[in-house]
Amino acid sequence: MNPIIKTLEVKNVITKSNLPVCDYSVNPYVGCTHACKYCYASFMKKFTGHDEDWGTFLDVKIWNKIKNPQRYAGKSFFMSSVTDPYNPQEKIYRRTREFLEIFQGVDINLSLQTKSDLILRDLDLIRTFKNIRVGFSINTLDENFKDDMDKAVSIERRLAAMKILHEAGIRTTCFISPIFPGITDVVAIIYAAKNFCNLVWLENLNLRGNFKPKIFAYVREKYPKLLPLYNEIYHKKNLGYWFELHKIVEDYAAKNHLEYVRNRDDMQRDFDAPPVIVNFFFHEQIKNTPR
């Protein structure tokens, strides 16, 4: 079924952000047709008035002219926090590209996060930004599991796009998120991406949203042997799995001469290859992780 596409006129596409990684977030769309089953952004339906299932609709934002973009010089932007800036429909509507065109020549710190190789279309513009980072969300190397979880392009295409950008001199991030316990092979993904990314971010699967029953139903059907583990983590709140995975990644990093950190501030550093691995397993509890 084709998604429901509408246009939405807004005063401003730039929103002051509470995220620790940026001053402003930029979401050129409402909704996301990648339709990730685990998407935390599905909570947006409470504020947008959509009754449709998450992933089946997309509002294309048309915003007022951004006056004097130079006034944002020195500020950091994240694109995007509750959509993918490179939904398939971006090929037609070009809202992300318009934003990049507007801010050409402005000294902003820009992070682009996507699951799509459509971003390569804009490499000509991306090259013109002095402080830019492109992140690709990858939580599996198993294309069958990928297809179960989202409608975005293949993992192979994401890794190929990351390599092209990295070789073009663009700082790249491999965002291993969300990590599905017992399913996501974190070390295998790091191995696959480490030669063409500057950062690896690790984030655990967080089942705060209304998609929790759907994920449990999926595990029950496809990975029944993992159901006790998921009950331990998400019903009994046992963090043991994440401590064990933390140790596995820490040991892998040490053996392969990769830096492994657990400090949110490290996200803002200017990295060179080989990549630095940043652990977000524990969110606010991160400072209390055992050595």
* pLDDT reading at 83 higher than 80: yes
Please report whether residue 2 resides in a domain. Answer: no
Q: What CA–CA distances, in Å, run from 146 to 41, 160, 180, 217, 269?
A: 18, 16, 12, 17, 31
DSSP 3-state of 8: strand
How many angstroms separate the CA atoms of 250 and 258, rounded? 9
Q: What is the pLDDT of residue 269?
A: 52
Q: Given a cut of 70, is residue 271 above it in pLDDT?
A: no
Range of the domain at 255: 67-288
Q: Is residue 77 part of a domain?
A: yes
Q: Number of folded domains in the chain?
A: 1
The H-or-E segment that residue 132 falls in is: strand 131-137
Phi, psi at 202, each rounded to 5°: -120, 130
Q: pTM for this structure?
A: 0.91
- Other CB atoms within a 10 A radius of the CB of residue 1 amount to 5
Between 150 and 22, where is the model more confident? 150
45 lies in some domain = no
Closest CA to 77 of 35, 124, 24: 24
**Considering the chain, what is the average pLDDT of its residues?**
89
CATH number of the domain that 165 lies in? 3.80.30.10
Residue 95: predicted pLDDT:
97
Q: Is the pLDDT reported for residue 44 higher than 80?
A: no
